[in-house]
A and B are shown apart, each in its own frame.
Chain A
């Protein structure tokens, strides 16, 4: 065996040893769970009686279901389309601003991270109150909208709450990534007379590609699966205006008096497939081609 082969085998071995903890968890918990749920999506299963195989019937029922077609699907897509770009761009700008040598930046960083440590109980309670008919938002803007009880405004309100509560986390990821851009790159650019916008555009953004891919991917996954705030604040209402695919999964899997786990699993896999497609597409745009 020549030296190169030995080296290569050593690299393989190291990689698998490093990945061992994850492989263990993946094989024992994740693979089985996903396989089980995938199997259930082809059955009629109410949790208490054994699943009955029905083939693709559940998928057909889902794509013909009113709740799915009229509410869950369009709401989820709207939600992703608005929230993902907004939270990514805002958090990137904030992180860039706080990476400058400005005054009080420790204070600002802590302050901007506060939404991420605010418990979901607090968030839902306070936003319900802020956006209530007699709440502060209406008072400031002289409006008379019952935000969370209006089929028109309920989803945008949930979007605002979620953007608000996720920006801090994303900002922190960007901030961490910004620490690793070599100072020499900035210095070179400044000597060339680049202004701050040009530096941002031509140095910061390209260097942050892996971090942006990470943030956008997590944003896409989180938004497609949006559930918590809807569960606490609107329960999918009013009139289905905030029913999303993940909420439908919960509703059919656990909330119904007559459980439809098979159909919930079918929705879950339709949702996963949509996320996968979007992630793979955005990966082409954001990530640099990997050198093999």
Chain B
């Protein structure tokens, strides 16, 4: 029962039948869920590694015959591919940094600070997520682009009512610098951690800004990384909004460009799947690099190290 001893060193359990089967059972369930989680990904990987003409031939779980042709097509068919990659990277990196910071600041305000209108603003923030985005696309488009009222002039001066940012990466970045999801997440996170540390800092004479940037931010590493991961993933995959505001192929993001492989009437899925796996690659990589922050032994509460 080496496994069990490692798992719960301080609990001395009686050895019953249940104790003997529970760890194998536990690992069995985990393994089964692993298969369920990975299976679709695996199948699409296999599919994308077979020649188009052999897509429907068995076997389906192993790439025979093997080819990298679909990936080559994705990479070489469009000269603009590196450009799309760059655009996506710019948008995602900028938004990940900016949004994570702004959401942490706002979340801290909602969770820790007392100010008039807090409750009302919080509910309003929640409500803003509840209206389906489909009906908000056109007004949002008007604001970021041509303006709500064209040719609004006051005393002979033209007053712009929109940002005029169409067909620019800024049209994707500006409305995304902060979002309700991240704000809500950070609020809930700050609500769940003990206040003692901040209070100690406050007593030391650090101002509120000092406390936040020097004590609170470093302390919320796990939550910040989680939010950063979600933000990167969300902005990397975003489709509908960039589709409407970005016009020229030079300004496309990767998902917009890859969508080019879908035909009007029919689609060669081998290539589409190769493209979408290519698109998932950076996210998987980032997750793999950062997942150590989700491990308890390096928890950062600071109250008690292990």
Residues 259-292 of chain A: 1 if any B CB is under 8 Å from the residue's CB, otherwise 0? Answer: 0010011001101100110010000000000001
Is A28's beta carbon under 8 Å from chain B? yes
B148 CB-CB contact with A under 8 Å: yes
Q: B169-204 toward A: CB 8 Å interface, digit per residue (1/0)?
A: 000000101111101110011011110000000000
With A106-B292, A118-B40, A227-B134 known, 19 other A-B pairs at CB within 8 A are A29-B140, A32-B139, A37-B136, A40-B135, A102-B27, A103-B27, A109-B294, A110-B287, A111-B34, A111-B38, A117-B280, A122-B40, A122-B280, A176-B189, A179-B296, A184-B304, A210-B191, A249-B135, A292-B114
B121 & A182 in contact (Cβ 8 Å cutoff): no
Given the known interface contacts A126-B43, A179-B300, A268-B135, the answer about A105 and B37 at a Cβ–Cβ threshold of 8 Å is no
Query: How many whole Å from B243's CB to the nearest CB in chain A?
Result: 12
Min C-beta distance of A35 to chain B, whole Å? 8
Interface set, chain B 1-36, CB cutoff 8 A to A? 3, 6-8, 10-11, 26-27, 30, 33-34, 36
Closest to A130 in B: B40
A16-38 CB contact bits vs B (8 Å, 1 = yes)? 10110110011011101110110
- Of the candidates B109, B140, B184, which one forms a contact with A214 in the assembled complex, judged by CB atoms under 8 Å apart? B184
Flag if B43 contacts A101 (CB, 8 Å).
Answer: no
Interface string of A112-147 (1 = CB under 8 A from B): 111111110111011101100000000000000000
Inter-chain contacts of A224 with B (CB < 8 A)? 130
Q: Is the CB of B40 within 8 A of A119?
A: no
Query: Which of B102, B131, B148 is in CB contact (< 8 Å) with A21?
Result: B102
Return chain B residues, CB-CB under 8 Å to A153: none
- Evaluate contact between A110 and B44: CB separation under 8 angstroms: no
Q: How far is the CA of A113 from the CA of B7 in the complex (A)?
A: 23
Top 7 nearest A-B pairs (CB, nearest first) are: A126-B40, A15-B115, A18-B109, A33-B139, A119-B276, A36-B139, A15-B113
Closest-by-CB residue of B relative to A215 is B188
16 contacts between A and B (CB under 8 A): A12-B115, A14-B208, A25-B179, A26-B124, A32-B139, A36-B138, A37-B131, A110-B291, A115-B37, A117-B283, A121-B272, A122-B280, A253-B134, A265-B135, A268-B134, A276-B127
In the complex, A187 Cα to B10 Cα: how many Å? 9
How far apart sit A249 and B39, CA to CA, in the bound complex (Å)? 33
Is B303 a contact of A207 with CB atoms below 8 Å?
Answer: no
Instruction: Point out residues on A near B: beta carbons under 8 Å.
Output: 8, 10-12, 14-16, 18-19, 21-22, 25-26, 28-30, 32-34, 36-37, 40, 47, 94, 97, 99-103, 105-119, 121-123, 125-127, 129-130, 164, 168-169, 172-173, 175-180, 182-184, 187, 190-191, 195-196, 207-211, 213-214, 217-218, 221, 224-225, 227, 245-246, 249-250, 253-254, 261, 264-265, 268-269, 271-272, 275-276, 279, 292
Complex partner residue of A180 from B179, B208, B299, CB under 8 angstroms:
B299
Complex interface: chain A residues within 8 A of B87 (CB): none
Interface-facing stretch out of B65-73, B76-84, B222-230: B222-230
Residue of A nearest to B305 (CB): A183
Which of A14, A34, A178, A269 has the most CB atoms of chain B within a 10 A radius of its CB? A14
Chain A residues, Cβ within 8 Å of B168: none
As a 0/1 sequence over residues 115 to 147 of chain B, the CB contacts with chain A under 8 angstroms (1 = contact) are 110100100111111111011101110011000
Chain A nearest Cβ from B287, distance in angstroms: 6
CB–CB B296/A125 < 8 A: no
| A25–B272 touching, CB < 8 Å | no
- Selected contact of B303 from candidates A101, A122, A169, A184, CB within 8 Å: A184
Q: Given the complex of chains A and B, what is the CA–CA distance between A211 and B130 in angstroms?
A: 19
Residues of A within 8 A of B33 (CB): 94, 112
Determine if B277 and A122 form an interchain contact, defined as CB atoms under 8 angstroms apart. Answer: yes
Q: Which residues of B contact A173 (CB under 8 A)?
A: 185, 226
CB-based contact B114/A119 at 8 Å: no
Chain B positions near chain A (C-beta within 8 angstroms): 3, 6-8, 10-11, 26-27, 30, 33-34, 36-41, 43-44, 102, 105-106, 108-110, 113-116, 118, 121, 124-132, 134-136, 138-140, 143-144, 148, 175, 177-181, 183-185, 188-189, 191-194, 208-209, 212, 222-223, 225-226, 229-230, 233, 237, 269, 272-273, 276-277, 279-280, 283-284, 287-288, 291-292, 294-297, 299-301, 303-304, 306
- Cα of A187 to Cα of B306 in the assembled complex, Å: 11
In the complex, A109→B276 CA distance in Å?
Answer: 22
Cβ B280 vs Cβ A172 within 8 A = no
Residue numbers in A under 8 Å from B288 (CB-CB): 110
Answer whether A211 and B188 are a contact pair too, CB < 8 Å, given A21-B178, A221-B130, A265-B135: yes
Q: How far is the CB of A121 from chain B (nearest CB, A)?
A: 5
Residues of chain A contacted by B8 (CB below 8 angstroms)? 100, 196
Residues of A within 8 A of B106 (CB): 18-19, 21-22
Contacts of B269 on A, CB cut-off 8 Å?
125
Residues of A within 8 A of B135 (CB): 37, 40, 249, 253, 261, 264-265, 268
- Interface contact B143-A246, CB-CB below 8 Å: no
Closest chain B residue to A161, Cβ basis: B40
Q: Which residues of A contact B43 (CB under 8 A)?
A: 126, 129
Contact partners of B30 in chain A: CB under 8 A: 97, 108
Write out the residue numbers on chain A whose beta carbons fall within 8 Å of the beta carbon of B291.
106, 109-110, 113
Shortest distance from the beta carbon of A131 to any chain B beta carbon, whole Å:
11
Task: Give the chain A neighbours of B193 by CB distance below 8 A.
Answer: 180
Bound-complex Cα distance A82 to B132 (A):
21
